Amino acid sequence: MTDFYTASRVPNPSGHGFSVSFRHPMRSDKSGKRGLKVKKGLGTEDPVGAEAFVTELNEILRDESLWPPTARPFAERRGYSKKVIDIFYDRSEPESVDYRKIRDQEMRLPGRDLGYSRALLIGPPGAGKSTLVRQLIGSDPSRDRFPSTSNTRTTTCETEVIVADEDYAALITFMSEDEARCEVAGCLLDAVLKAALSPDDAAVARVLLEQSDPLFRLKYTLGDWPRDGAEEQDAYEEAEADTGDFDGGPALTAAQLNEQAAVLRRFVKRVRDITASAIKGVEQSLGPLDSLSPQDRNAALDLAQETAEASEEFVDLTSDIVGELQRRFDWVEPGSYRRTTTGWPIAWRLTAGQDRRKDFLSAVRFFSGIYHRQWGVLLTPLVNGIRVKGPFFPQWSHHKPRLVLIDSIGLRHEADANADVPDQIVSYFSSVDSIVLVDAAHSAMTNYSTAKALEAVGSAGHTRKLVIAFTNLDRVKKAENLPTFRAKRDHLFAGVADVLENQVARTLSKEVARHMASHLEVNTFFLGALDKADPKPAIGELQRFLERLQADVKHVIAVEAFPEYNIDNLVLGVRGASEAVRDLWTHILDRVPWQTVKAFNRRYADSREHYRLDPAANLRTELGNTMSRFLDNPAKWTTETTLEAKRETVDRIKSKVAELLPALVRERLRTKPIQQWIDAYWLRGNRSTFERRLRIEAILERWIPIPRMAEDPVIQQIVTEFLDEVRQAFKDAYELAKEEMLQERKQSAGGKGADAAAAV
């Protein structure tokens, strides 16, 4: 006789609403055992309604014919509620969702067809991208405070601003409930490790609320651990005046702070209990942690984390924290949500008249703010995209521009790990008119990521879109070697030239570096006083900068001339790309702490990105650079044409390569070996850290093979498959670019013919 699982109604710890808890008969936990525990919010505070959903779920759990995923249509025909069906048949792993597409469905980004120009701002954290956006949209630093700024990393998601003489509108999208659950589980795992190493509850709370990945900080939404009254004051900061109303709304009251502190103490207490239980089990097998060698102790801590994660208490705590996060969405009064059947928000929309700017921005700041007196009500960590539209016009401009500004997350800066520009940013390159590299003048061109950004733009064939904006020029003081404004500008541009000569020329080609240097001589801007409401010293340069962003950078229409290539020459370049990535990852796995490697492995196993380590981005960069060098050296041209036309044609092919490579790399390193990433992450027991490293090396060896002669036919087949994929990507990009340019030439010829006929 089959034993059936049963679902039960569970009140949420917050006292608001209900969840359902059950074991899924068709899903296995990470150890391979059937009966994965599932706990999902029901999105209702009505006990009778919640019980009705539980009753339906129990009917499905008693009918084995309805368990397989393929039985979903039958369950729908039987009339079960959509909420119950979504809970039972929901994917066990996060789905890949195109959130830009969701935003486009309700608020499309206008382009050249409507007279708008689009500008993408990229650069290292703290360079001043958001501050520059404030100036371009007329956002007062004291009154509007949008987008949020600070001296460190602030922008945690794509922020898109449509400057239009229309009413205000906002569309904000959120990570899915599964993604939030994975993020919370990652924070909890870090907290478990800290709890095993430290008796200090405040230290455990800090790890839980502010993990090393700066894009997801629970403290913004759950609040901060209560401060010690004797906490040392910062001698370098003046005491902050408590205005009671700052950055988007009133500060939390004493009662709210007390409630927040009580919730956090309960969470940390549960982390302590989970950790103690896991450590007890590990020590029974391996002995006291303090008696183990460093290597064995690391393995024991790894096992303790895995034991904790597999426990029911861990699943319950994860679900309760996610429920607490979901409750915060209801604290935002204006606007309307689009939700899943379980109540998790997909998107939030708000419209307001042009006379309601203050109210509009006050509401939006709940999703983008960082002000510490509002920690506990901000939804910033859960947001993956912000799109706003309205009369965001700069006060210093004499006209109203038609502009779209895209403020991206700060570039990574770890030169010894991964500073390659993420796919999330590169995917914008082909759809924008300007790519603005923002860097701070007082530390210009010293961040490794700025060189990688220049390399990425040149490799993708978008040099003509490139603009550099140096901010904080007011922080570059006069010195013996910088006596004038011109001297400052020359000094800054010399830094650009140095990077081009020593980085871009080396990774791409001298021709690309020279072309980029010539282009940037008239496309580099020097800005200061951007944090002021009236940036008087910078107004002239800001106006020139704004004119550049709106300029229509025309394609050069070449004659019937196309490059021809010997594709066999591409093989040597691919070999160099594979070796570069493999060497980089040998270094990473030797030097990076095991906790970081495990966290990266967990994200790849869950089909999510890792902020710091990303072999897919490394491979995309190296293959892109290889293709760029290859394309710069054709065997011949079908007919002679100008140097400018040749460069434009090659760049057009490069841009198509840049569009196609991410899909190739994702399929090769993420999709096909997904089970291998899962198996590597869920290694258990002694020496699991060492074994995980070997598994990761094996994945990279299999999917990033180094082309060379091999007697083993299996290895040769793997290499041939890889080379065929790269060759096909080149051929597809070449044909797409050729077809696109031929079409443009036909249209251009037709337009000239029509003009001539009209003249006659």
Under 8 Å between Cβ of 422 and 614: yes
Angstrom distance (rounded) from CA 220 to CA 370: 7
Reported as a single tens digit per residue, the pLDDT across 189-233 is 999 999 999 999 999 999 999 876 667 889 999 999 987 655 555
What does 399-427 look like in DSSP terms, one character per residue?
Answer: S---EEEEEPPPPP--TTT--PPPHHHHT
Angstrom distance (rounded) from CA 752 to CA 535: 45
Pair (525, 599) in one structural domain = no
Reported as a single tens digit per residue, the pLDDT across 421-473 is 988 899 999 999 999 999 999 888 988 889 999 999 999 999 999 999 999 99
Q: Residue 626: give the domain boundaries.
A: 563-759
Residue 32 has pLDDT above 90, yes or no: no
Residue 265 has pLDDT above 60, yes or no: yes
Query: Is residue 631 exposed (0-12), middle (13-18) or buried (19+ Cβ within 10 Å)?
Result: buried
- Residue 104: which pLDDT band, with cuts at 50, 70 and 90? very high
Reported as a single tens digit per residue, the pLDDT across 642-660 is 888 899 999 999 999 999 9
Under 8 Å between Cβ of 461 and 655: yes
Partners of 385 in the beta sheet? Answer: 158, 173
Contacts of 440 (CB under 8 A, 6+ apart): 126, 127, 128, 470, 471, 472, 475
Pair (373, 400) in one structural domain = no
Residue 549 has pLDDT above 70, yes or no: yes
Averaged over 712-723, what is the pLDDT?
A: 90
* More confident site: 25 or 235: 25
Break the chain down into helix, strand, coil percent, rounded to 5.
Answer: 55, 10, 35
- Residue 760: which pLDDT band, with cuts at 50, 70 and 90? very low
Pair (487, 624) in one structural domain = no
Reading the block at residue 99, the tokens are: 């959130």
Q: At what angle do helices 570-591 and 713-759 cross, to 10 degrees?
A: 120
Pair (14, 115) in one structural domain = no
pLDDT at 94: 46
Domain-embedded: residue 99? no
Averaged over 535-542, what is the pLDDT?
A: 94
Domain-embedded: residue 97? no
Phi-psi map region of 390: left, alpha, beta (phi>0 left; psi -120 to 50 alpha): left
Residue 401 sits in a domain of what CATH number? 3.40.50.300
Reported as a single tens digit per residue, the pLDDT across 682-696 is 887 667 788 999 999
When mean pLDDT is compared across 103-112, 186-195, 233-242, 606-615, the lowest value belongs to 233-242
Residue 244 has pLDDT above 50, yes or no: no
Query: pLDDT above 70 covers what percent of the chain?
Result: 90
Residue 758 has pLDDT above 50, yes or no: no
The total number of structural domains in the chain stands at 4
Averaged over 273-283, what is the pLDDT?
A: 94
Side chain identity at residue 268, one-letter code? V
Pair (493, 430) in one structural domain = yes
Length of the chain: 760
Domain-embedded: residue 488? yes
> Over the Cα atoms of the chain, what is R_g?
28
Does this model's pTM top 0.95?
A: no
Reported as a single tens digit per residue, the pLDDT across 40-77 is 888 888 999 999 999 999 999 999 888 887 788 888 88
Per DSSP, 160 falls in state E
Other Cβ atoms less than 10 A from the Cβ of 399: the count is: 11
pLDDT at 554: 66
What does 238-277 look like in DSSP terms, one character per residue?
Answer: PPPP--SB-SSSBPPPHHHHHHHHHHHHHHHHHHHHHHHH
Pair (160, 203) in one structural domain = no
pLDDT at 30: 60
pLDDT at 756: 39
Domain-embedded: residue 590? yes
Domain-embedded: residue 339? yes
Under 8 Å between Cβ of 469 and 525: yes
Tokens 């059947």 belong to 341
Find, among 179, 208, 183, the residue nearest to 270 by Cα.
208
Under 8 Å between Cβ of 638 and 560: yes
Averaged over 267-276, what is the pLDDT?
A: 97
Find, among 379, 380, 446, 390, the residue nearest to 419 by Cα.
446
Residue 541 has pLDDT above 60, yes or no: yes
Of 366, 383, 400, the one marking the end of a domain is 383
Residue 240 has pLDDT above 60, yes or no: no
Contacts of 366 (CB under 8 A, 6+ apart): 248, 249, 331, 332, 377, 378, 379
pLDDT at 559: 63
pLDDT at 237: 54
Residue 264 has pLDDT above 90, yes or no: yes
Pair (180, 63) in one structural domain = no
Pair (583, 709) in one structural domain = yes
Reported as a single tens digit per residue, the pLDDT across 562-593 is 999 998 889 889 999 999 999 999 999 988 88
For 437-458, b where at least 16 C-beta lie within 10 A, e where not — what string? bbbbbebbbebbbbbbbbbbbb
Find, among 305, 306, 360, the residue nearest to 332 by Cα.
360
When mean pLDDT is compared across 403-412, 602-611, 640-649, the lowest value belongs to 602-611
Pair (142, 205) in one structural domain = no
Per-chain mean pLDDT for the chain: 87
- Residue 492: which pLDDT band, with cuts at 50, 70 and 90? very high
Reported as a single tens digit per residue, the pLDDT across 149-184 is 776 666 778 999 999 999 999 999 999 888 898 889
Beta strands in 584-666 (DSSP E): 636-637
Q: Are strands 345-352 and 383-390 parallel, antiparallel or unpaired?
A: unpaired
Angstrom distance (rounded) from CA 249 to CA 242: 13
Residue 753 has pLDDT above 70, yes or no: no
SS3 call for 291? helix
pLDDT at 233: 57
Pair (371, 463) in one structural domain = no
Find, among 455, 185, 204, the residue nearest to 321 by Cα.
185
Examine residue 147 and say whether the peptide bond preceding it is cis (omega within 30 degrees of 0).
yes
> What's the maximum distance between 2 C-alpha atoms anywhere in the chain?
97
Residue 247 has pLDDT above 60, yes or no: no
Under 8 Å between Cβ of 468 and 520: yes
Residue 138 has pLDDT above 80, yes or no: yes
Pair (502, 596) in one structural domain = no
Other Cβ atoms less than 10 A from the Cβ of 751: the count is: 10
**From residue 271, how far is each of 23, 99, 317, 662 by CA, in Å?**
23, 33, 8, 39
Under 8 Å between Cβ of 564 and 635: yes
* More confident site: 68 or 114: 114
pLDDT at 482: 76
What does 670-720 look like in DSSP terms, one character per residue?
Answer: IITTHHHHHHHHT--STTHHHHHHHHHHHHHHHHS------S-HHHHHHHH
Q: Are strands 466-471 and 524-526 parallel, antiparallel or unpaired?
A: parallel
Domain-embedded: residue 361? yes
Q: What is the 3-state secondary structure (H, E, C) of 351-366?
A: EECCCCHHHHHHHHHH
Angstrom distance (rounded) from CA 302 to CA 193: 8
Residue 238 has pLDDT above 50, yes or no: yes
Phi-psi map region of 523: left, alpha, beta (phi>0 left; psi -120 to 50 alpha): alpha
Domain-embedded: residue 192? yes
Residue 609 has pLDDT above 50, yes or no: yes
For 145-183, b where at least 16 C-beta lie within 10 A, e where not — what string? bbbbbeeeebbbbbbbbbbbeeebbbbbbbbbbbbbbbb
Of 89, 118, 143, the one marking the end of a domain is 89
Residue 738 has pLDDT above 70, yes or no: yes
Of 348, 383, 418, the one marking the end of a domain is 383
Domain-embedded: residue 555? no
pLDDT at 249: 58
Angstrom distance (rounded) from CA 267 to CA 261: 10
Pair (154, 286) in one structural domain = no
